[in-house]
Chains A and B, each alone.
Chain A
């Protein structure tokens, strides 16, 4: 069925219009063609924000922010901001917001609500932190927790990095490996961001 469809698909009005055009052998087209429509760049991610809130003290927050206003292929260098520092001994709950500022589109809903089965978050840190996917995290059909709602316990003070990755279309994911940070095979990453953070 597919092939039949493909055979006839190009035979659209454009095709016939141009066959007519060929009969008149018009080579002198004027430059009055319609301007192309701007692309709707729905896939682009420009902003990623992780907000960590201390379970014991809602005023103690750490915000990790990433912004690349001209998209992944624009020449602007992405801006990374870290607001606040983790308190040693405290446990934080983190949520993520993913946004496409070019099209004004919230990507979080797409990842978390519409297609959690296609996605998976993976984390890494060079610091001494205990990580878990939160009890209220979204659970994929295959039983793995997505990694959207996470809890982090900052153990010992120090300077280091925190990496967050979002993958899609993975062959397999596993939320139990790497101390719960997770791993995947065969997928493609939507983002892969490393912030410099501090535990005080």
Chain B
């Protein structure tokens, strides 16, 4: 880097070469990114032990120099401190660039952990490390529910899929360390493959405002960032050890970071988690154990002007699925609903048996950036992801040890981004993305739900940001994405014809010579556009308002296109549709924020109108050897969602604080004129925090989590024959469970063990009163209650 600077500064004027000490060094300091003079920088001439400062033109003079080498240490508020040496050979002039806007330019951190928003006008909430630590033992989906308007759709207790304003799965983008996670996010029982402990900060962005990441974030974007490296010689890290009474689980995680003043850095992080069967207040939840391991490593060099990073992460999860939720027929569902208890309750064990999931995720990334004088920054990134998902069902015979579903998804992505930020009042970013994805499904003895496919994506975007005046900031962006999916799928010939595909897509048929099956090669091209316009207006020192309009579009995912098969635990046949079109979303949002010494209010409102919204709905019944199964088909409709999320913080005294987070959401299928399924009901969370800061930062919190009954839901109940009693029964799969109010307790204290070492201890009790309840957004709610009281003890050592 030094050489690079010297090259830049090679405007040398040399006068004379006498041996006396009468020479003058004239320096001119300019700001690297926009070329403006740096005024009032402190310049320490190490060799002479003298100080000087730069004048209003950024110039400084050092007189009475001999022909010698001098070393300058240049420092300035909010600048990186720079040490440079020059050889004096007569009177010398040097132009020196240092960067004054490190923080604004989102570059290397001076302070270490600071809150850095990803967007400027979008509805974004940043969760910091201290909040995330509380969730060390659980998952990403649990942690981000800290943000009002964010909920989750669960399969049991361990598979938690984030939901933003009622949307989830392919409608959310998840980025980890600037890599878009590609982990078969289309399935409801596919939770994101992220170790929450690898995150230092998580930004939750409602809506599709962050166009740099994709055009299909109809619901929102979750940006997970590791800790930023610090440009100083230091070794630091943390270790967390925790235990939980429910499921007798433990979690251990540790991170070690090594940073150098030269900009080199390296860090390693690993996590181990395990729990046995969870317990509902009245019974064990048999086969709900979890085993999780992850490791990640980062290394590279970051300076203001250039840098690179290599990153690798590995995650392995083995997750047991509640045994009694695996049902072979509607009969099982009838029994589960009628009895109100799981049909299989065994003693506690750590053993995980079928049904279960085993998921492995590898992620490798290499990134390089370079900043150009008075221009901006170029960032190039390549990433590779390998996701293997194996789902084991209860199967007969030797098939028992073979997963029913085995998918191997590999993704290569190449990104190039250019940030033009020479003028901080008018920043422009643009970039390109190319992606190749290959899904391979080996034979498992079950017709592949998700077929082998290759997918090609190309995207380009531009975003711009204008600081019009002190009060008003505008941003806008546009993005275009092209997707091509090229699949090879075996269809049951009778199904192919029943869907009418033989008429509409005869060109897809490759080979009819497979008995009851035919091999097809569906190829689809999708064009997707996105637009975003936003503003932020500072009303006064205490309050602001932001407004946003986002247009985004999402192509149908492989599950929506290709599903055709029986889904256990739902006891239904799910059918995709090759005729689906991309969804198109128009989302308007407004946020109002107010803050003074004792009060903080934030109100997020939105309306999201989605054309060709794809969702599963029941359409009929399929007779089979195991009785009648309801058939659910992916259909398109027009949907409208709207809602308001509130955060309210009120200091009652200097030690007591009241916090309220509430969210209200409604969503309707405009064509069928019915409410949308699986939307979170109104919920309000009240927390009282007691802070005894003069005693080791001791804090206590009491929380009430009050979730109402969802009173608007589509009626998808159906009549079926109970094979045991031969009676016709109405199977109520629609009515949401009643409201519940849970109470939680949290306490923590931090002890300084030495200058640099602190120990944080926390004790928390989840569901203090061991309340039995069911959650509308848990797909296993027909089979068992949610987990009961859980006492958690956790130690965190920061060093």
Interface residues of A (CB under 8 A from B): 3, 6-7, 9-10, 14-15, 18-19, 21-22, 25-27, 29, 31, 33, 35-43, 45-46, 48, 66, 68-78, 102, 110, 114-115, 118, 124, 126, 161, 163, 165, 168-169, 171, 185-186, 188-194
Contacts and interface: CB of A to CB of B under 8 A. Distances in A.
Contacts of B498: 75
A116 to B, nearest CB: 12
A22 B412 contact: yes
B374 interface: no
B343 A36 contact: no
Nearest to A126: B726
B383 to A, nearest CB: 9
A48 B625 contact: yes
A10 B723 contact: no
A40 B445 contact: yes
Contacts of B511: 35
A21 B364 CA distance: 14
Nearest to A48: B625
Contacts of B399: 42-43
Contacts of B444: 39
Interface stretch (B30-38, B435-443, B536-544): B435-443
Contact of A39 (B382, B446, B726): B446
Closest 9 CB pairs of A and B: A188-B328, A72-B624, A75-B498, A186-B344, A70-B494, A191-B625, A189-B328, A74-B492, A36-B452
A45 to B, nearest CB: 6
A22 B447 contact: no
A65 B291 CA distance: 46
Contact of B447 (A7, A21, A41, A46): A41
Contacts of A19: 384
Nearest to A69: B516
Contact of A124 (B291, B564, B724): B724
B626 interface: yes
B445 A36 contact: no
Given A41-B446, A114-B397, A115-B396, A73 B566 contact: yes
20 contacts: A10-B360, A10-B408, A18-B412, A19-B384, A25-B382, A25-B412, A27-B414, A31-B454, A36-B519, A37-B443, A38-B515, A39-B445, A40-B443, A41-B447, A72-B624, A72-B625, A73-B624, A74-B492, A185-B344, A192-B627
B270 interface: no
B412 A171 contact: no
Contacts of A22: 382, 384, 412
B573 interface: yes
B362 interface: yes
B388 A21 contact: no
Given A6-B358, A6-B360, 18 more contacts: A6-B316, A18-B410, A22-B382, A35-B488, A36-B441, A37-B443, A68-B625, A70-B492, A72-B624, A73-B495, A73-B565, A74-B492, A76-B494, A115-B396, A163-B723, A171-B344, A190-B626, A192-B625
Contacts of B314: 7
Given A7-B314, A15-B386, A190 B517 contact: no
Contacts of A18: 384, 386, 410, 412, 438
A33 B514 contact: no
Interface of B: 291, 293, 314, 316, 318, 323-324, 326-329, 331-332, 343-344, 358, 360, 362, 382, 384, 386, 388, 394-397, 399, 408, 410, 412, 414, 434-436, 438, 440-441, 443-448, 451-452, 454, 456, 486, 488, 490, 492-495, 498, 510-511, 514-517, 519, 564-566, 573, 622-627, 629, 723-724, 726
Contacts of B408: 10, 14
Nearest to A118: B396
Given A38-B519, A41-B446, A73 B626 contact: no
Contacts of B486: 31
Given A168-B396, A189-B331, A190-B396, A29 B626 contact: no
A5 to B, nearest CB: 11
Contacts of A48: 625
Contacts of A70: 492-495, 516
A38 B564 contact: no
B446 A43 contact: yes
Nearest to B491: A74
A168 B434 CA distance: 48
B448 A168 contact: no
B445 A102 contact: no
Contact of B723 (A27, A190, A192): A192
A43 B395 contact: yes
Contacts of B447: 39, 41, 73
B494 A74 contact: yes
B566 A36 contact: no
A36 B448 contact: yes
Nearest to A15: B386
B492 A42 contact: no
B625 A193 contact: yes
A102 B515 contact: yes
Contacts of A126: 726
A104 B452 CA distance: 26
A168 B398 CA distance: 13
Given A25-B414, A70-B495, A188 B622 contact: no
A41 B547 CA distance: 55
A39 B291 CA distance: 30
Contacts of A71: 492, 516
Contacts of A165: 723
A68 B629 CA distance: 14
A32 to B, nearest CB: 11
Contacts of A25: 382, 412, 414
A14 B623 contact: no
Contact of B564 (A29, A73, A78, A168): A73
Contact of B495 (A3, A40, A75): A75
Contacts of B495: 70, 73-75
Contacts of A171: 343-344
A146 to B, nearest CB: 14
A10 B408 CA distance: 9
A66 B492 contact: no
Nearest to B393: A188
Contacts of B329: 189, 192
Nearest to B434: A27
A114 B400 CA distance: 14
A38 B520 CA distance: 11
Contacts of B382: 22, 25
A112 B443 CA distance: 26
A29 B410 CA distance: 14
A69 B343 CA distance: 32
Contacts of A68: 624-625
A39 B448 contact: yes
A70 B517 CA distance: 9
A69 B193 CA distance: 40
Contacts of B454: 29, 31, 33
Nearest to B487: A36
B494 A39 contact: no
Nearest to B383: A22
Nearest to A17: B410
A69 B245 CA distance: 51
Contacts of A33: 452, 454, 488
Contacts of B565: 73
A105 B451 CA distance: 25
A6 B403 CA distance: 14
